[in-house]
Structure 1
Amino acid sequence: MIVLSSFLIVDKKWLYKIRIGVKQMQYSKKLLCLVLFTLVSFTSVSCGNDNSYVSEARNSKITHAETSTISLMTSWGGVDSKAGCLTDLLDKFENENPTIKVSNQSIFGDEYLPTLKTRFASGNEPDVFGLWPCSDIKYMIRANKLAELTDTLKKDSEWMESFKGNFFDMTTYNNKIFGIPFELVFEGMFINKDLFQQFGVKIPQNYQELKNAINIFNKHNITPIAYNATAEGSYIYQNMIASLGGNEGVEKFIVNNKINNCYIDAMKYMKELYEMHAFPNDLISITSEERNNLFIKKQAAMIVQGSWFAAYFGKFDKTVEMIPFPAMGNGSSKIPAGLGGGTFYISKSAWSTPEGKENTLKLIKFLTSKATSDYLYKESGLFSTLNVSMETPYNALAQQSIGVYEKTLEENRCAIPDHIIDRSTWEKVIVKEFPRYLDNKISAEEIWEKALNRLQ
């Protein structure tokens, strides 16, 4: 009866025709027995055939029953240039691992970090997540929320050695490794080279040349620098800090219980550019997307952005280039660089069971593999830290910008300020107060005094 019921679900129409035939032949007992015997035999053969509909349906039910789900949270969601790539990659991972499903809970934009922190605080943390190294990671480690990966990496030396440089130093705390440093990011100034050529403007290599360029573009009604009062807009301020202080100045941001002078001086240079009308008039109200579009649509000559900005331009577009931010003072040009949101961690709760440990490890290895690196570079312009050559550039700008980074001497690469300063303090004090500072309603020293009080 069970076997017959299973078959009836598979093909009721065929059975119905047989039953009608049987009825028309006056329910011949011999024929009915023969039909039933055939049905049972056919069903038994079908269960042993992996290509049959019945087998697929049953395997689907078994897979569903035995499937475990991993929750993944990254900043590669929404309109992020890597969002579509992540969806495709997770489809591939699930096809290769049919007993594992991935719940993609990625979020785009400024809401990502607050949402992630809220989930950890409420005990609803994702199994695997991506986050640039920052003070929040240290809080999670102190709260015993993250899996330690040191022994796992040592046992799999091939995986660990696939990463170049000393990037594991950025995910190591108290000599223990907690994160996989996959995504390389760096910042600089992007220029609309065609606008510079059209108006005969010299590409600035120092601060004075930058001011000269601003004056010329203003005369031609071109917004000199696309900037707005948001966390992402603050990249120009961060590049100034890096140029003035270098890596030591950025990282040792407290000197004698006060903020390092490079953080104060950079604010004063920002005020000077503001008074020169270097920025959009509506810098307080425009969104980050609107700011980017000013540059993309050639309404602004310059913008300070991250390496991921290359993904916004056409494959063969050579009208845009990336340069190091013009040198401030007597120093050399600097490039703030570090690890991006593709730095992956596993939560302690997911790591606590053998199945969770095995499955999350499979996912994180897949996300940091050479194949994934090649795909993301080709499709979204992501630069990975893997020790591999990137042969198929996303576009001309991606290839040109990675060249700028690689040509920059190691001593001229420095930490990114908002990776060093507590991110919530950076956004809720520094970024929030910046418009008031530009309008002379608060001093640079008063802003940083507020920030340091919050940090303490």
Structure 2
Amino acid sequence: MKKFTVCLLIGAMAASMLTGCGSNGGSSDSSDSKADSSSETMTIMMNGSDSDAFMEGYRKIVDGFNESNEYGVKVEIQNITNADYKTKLTTMMASDSEPDIIFTWPLGYLENFVNGDKVVSIQKYLDEDEDWKNSFNGGILDPLTYDGEVYAIPTQQSTAIMYYNKAIFDKYGLEVPTTYDEYVQICDTLKENGVTPVALASTADDAWLVSQYIQQLSDGIKGEDLFNSLKDGTGKWNDEGMVEAGKLFQEEVNKGYFEDGFTGVSREEAQLQFANGQTAMYFNGCWEISNLDKKENAAEAENISCFLMPAVNEEYAGVEVGSVDTSYAITKNCKNVDAAVALLKY
């Protein structure tokens, strides 16, 4: 679950078009390589199936590293689907059979492996390479830092966004909302014309999307201070800002802003409804770009654009649900940490 709130410019989404999260189907596969058969093998476990659009970019990176690295290392990709990833990795960690490099989420998830002495500190490698260390945006390594030590390297920043169908907006004379009131007016106009405003997934595996939507409402009600207070334990979940966010969401549900039976709709189903023009908007994250850009899955891909959800209180505009994303940690099982660090740099 991505729950680290940061202020991000929408232009930063372009950096994440190569990658994504939330996977369809599953397989285990290894990247082809021109490395010599006598090369040392190093495995990297990724959260996604081999057929996911973003994996093509990772395969190119791994193949390039295999051809050019000075360590005589051949990297192999192990694909695990999003639904199975946490269970698989926990089982492997418990039996000391984890791969050399693992995909990880930040904050509390990675902290468990840090406390269990399962992952390697990357701090000294960052300190030894100032150019690499300074190449990251300010604060980006903080959610991957414990007791002053960095334990994983992110490959992107992500933010939750609202996708919209430009053709449907144009048909009803709608423009991208800049305030929450304008957003409500758009939803009301769409409902009046028989159009479902928003596709939102909410099955057990995808309930984090509803959490993000409500968190986005609360960010726009009381800002980042509310989130930080909940994170550090000084705030309470029945804070008036959270209560107001819950009430606003319930009002939206009662007005029919979301697809029928949305509590039983999966992420894949919600995505397909939007991609096929059955809803005017779709709440998810910039990690969905590669999936929506698949022409075979998105009949109206050329009509898709996006905007950041406007704040309920304008003073908190720009406080968005976001995260460092697609981070990788080196496990204590890795016998060639220098090579693993070189791959993360590459």
Length-normalised TM-score, structure 2? 0.78
Change (3 A) 1:241 1:117: farther
Partners in 1 of 2:79 and 2:218 — Cα distance?
31
SS at 2:47 equivalent: coil
Is residue 2:343 matched to residue 1:359?
no
The equivalent of 2:124 in structure 1 is 151
Which digits, 9 at most, give the CA deviation of each residue in 1:386-439, with x for residues without a partner?
xxxxxxxxxxxxxxxxxxxxxxxxxxxxxxxxxxxxxxxxxxxxxxxxxxxxxx
Partners in 2 of 1:95 and 1:122 — Cα distance?
32
Percentage identity across paired residues of the two chains = 22
Residue 237 of structure 1 deviates from its aligned partner by: 2.2
Change (3 A) 1:290 1:78: farther
SS at 1:209 equivalent: helix
SS at 2:117 equivalent: coil
**2:177, 2:183 within 8 Å by CA — same for their partners in 1?**
yes
Is residue 2:310 matched to residue 1:326?
yes
2:225 pairs with one of 236, 245, 248: 248
The equivalent of 2:5 in structure 1 is none
The code of the aligned residue for 2:242 comes to: Y
Residue 288 of structure 1 deviates from its aligned partner by: 0.9
Partners in 2 of 1:294 and 1:339 — Cα distance?
28
Answer 1 or 2: which has greater helix percent. 1
Residue 256 of structure 1 deviates from its aligned partner by: 6.0
Q: What is the CA RMSD across the aligned residues, in angstroms?
A: 2.5
The equivalent of 2:14 in structure 1 is none
Partners in 1 of 2:201 and 2:245 — Cα distance?
16
SS at 1:187 equivalent: strand
After TM superposition, the structure 1 = structure 2 runs for residues 340-419 of structure 1, keeping only pairs within 5 Å, are: 340-341=325-326, 343-350=327-334, 353=335, 356-366=336-346
The code of the aligned residue for 2:333 comes to: S
After TM superposition, the structure 1 = structure 2 runs for residues 46-125 of structure 1, keeping only pairs within 5 Å, are: 63-64=36-37, 66-97=38-69, 99-125=72-98
Residue 255 of structure 1 deviates from its aligned partner by: 4.1
Is residue 2:293 matched to residue 1:310?
no
**1:183, 1:340 within 8 Å by CA — same for their partners in 2?**
yes
Is residue 2:214 matched to residue 1:237?
yes
Partners in 2 of 1:146 and 1:219 — Cα distance?
54
Higher RCO (CA 8 Å, separation ≥ 6 residues): 2
Which digits, 9 at most, give the CA deviation of each residue in 1:360-404, with x for residues without a partner?
1222222xxxxxxxxxxxxxxxxxxxxxxxxxxxxxxxxxxxxxx
Length-normalised TM-score, structure 1? 0.60
Is residue 2:324 matched to residue 1:339?
yes
SS at 1:69 equivalent: strand
Is residue 2:204 matched to residue 1:219?
no
Partners in 2 of 1:245 and 1:126 — Cα distance?
42
Residue 137 of structure 1 deviates from its aligned partner by: 0.8
1:131 pairs with one of 104, 107, 127: 104
Residue 227 of structure 1 deviates from its aligned partner by: 0.8
The equivalent of 1:389 in structure 2 is none
The code of the aligned residue for 2:225 comes to: E
SS at 2:262 equivalent: coil
Partners in 2 of 1:145 and 1:108 — Cα distance?
22
**1:171, 1:180 within 8 Å by CA — same for their partners in 2?**
yes
The code of the aligned residue for 2:209 comes to: G
The code of the aligned residue for 2:253 comes to: Y
Partners in 2 of 1:284 and 1:109 — Cα distance?
20
**1:76, 1:86 within 8 Å by CA — same for their partners in 2?**
no
Residue 232 of structure 1 deviates from its aligned partner by: 5.0
The code of the aligned residue for 1:362 comes to: A
**2:221, 2:316 within 8 Å by CA — same for their partners in 1?**
no
Partners in 1 of 2:308 and 2:72 — Cα distance?
47
Partners in 2 of 1:263 and 1:130 — Cα distance?
31
The equivalent of 1:265 in structure 2 is 244
SS at 1:301 equivalent: strand
The code of the aligned residue for 1:90 comes to: V
Which digits, 9 at most, give the CA deviation of each residue in 1:287-306, with x for residues without a partner?
21110111111111112221
Change (3 A) 1:240 1:72: same
The equivalent of 1:413 in structure 2 is none
**1:80, 1:108 within 8 Å by CA — same for their partners in 2?**
no
Partners in 1 of 2:51 and 2:249 — Cα distance?
30
